[in-house]
Amino acid sequence: MTMQSAPVAKASNGPKMGAFKDKDKPASVRSSNIVAAKSVADAVRTSLGPRGMDKMIQSANGEVTITNDGATILKQMSVIHPTAKMLVELSKAQDIEAGDGTTTVVVLAGSLLEAADNLLAKGIHPTTISESFQRAAHQAEEILEQMSSPIDLKDDNELIKLATTSLNSKVVSQYSWLLAPMAVKAVKKVIDLEHDDNVNLKMIKIVQKVGETVEE
């Protein structure tokens, strides 16, 4: 009769593989994302509003663009950081959906992220901050619905006033008396009255003529 001894496992006093976790890494990643987004917002902040300054942008091929439109500025910028790219996409979405407010949404997003950074510094959990933003957005929608007033598409004078307001912050603001009625007339030609909440602007062609004045 032979007896075999069972193998004995020896306890190791060394560290377990995979048990180490860097608790500071998520916080540093969040901070990096917020800083990148704020940098994009600060870049377009000075072009906001009727008194906003125009930006002169030179592309890689030497073409110079002068504009204070947020979507145009961000489109010309070479943004690499993923979070900063999200703000660029946010501006594009605003331009497609509303055609205006491209700078405002980026500045608002930067300010909200700055407020979130202050809350994170106080030790508030990111999930709590995110849920609070969602509730605030829902409340803001209700307030905007209460503030809004219906628009009659047959009232050209009211539509021209709205178009003039959008042109006030553009380079051609001094020609709003000419361009606003032209824009209203063009949109009313292509709008579908059954789906009057959106217009396919690709159906309106803009022809550029070198050397001509705006009046011509």
Percent of the chain with pLDDT over 70: 88
The DSSP secondary structure of 5-67, one letter per residue, reads PPP-PPPP-SPPTT----THHHHHHHHHHHHHHHHHHHHHHTT-STTPPPEEEE-TTS-EEEE
Least confidently predicted of 2-16, 91-105, 112-126, 172-186: 2-16
CA–CA distance, 44 with 132 (Å, rounded to integer): 27
pLDDT band at residue 146 using 50, 70 and 90 as cut-offs: very high
pLDDT digits (tens, 9 = 90+) for 19-45: 445 666 788 888 888 998 888 898 888
Least confidently predicted of 7-11, 98-102, 123-127, 161-165: 7-11
Stretch 143-162: mean pLDDT, rounded?
A: 89
pLDDT recorded at residue 142 = 95
Which secondary-structure segment (H or E) carries 154? none
CA–CA distance, 119 with 128 (Å, rounded to integer): 10
Stretch 210-215: mean pLDDT, rounded?
A: 81
Res. 127: pLDDT tops 90 = yes
CB within 8 Å of 200: residues ≥ 6 apart:
190
pLDDT digits (tens, 9 = 90+) for 45-103: 888 877 788 888 888 888 888 887 788 888 888 888 888 899 989 988 888 887 778 88
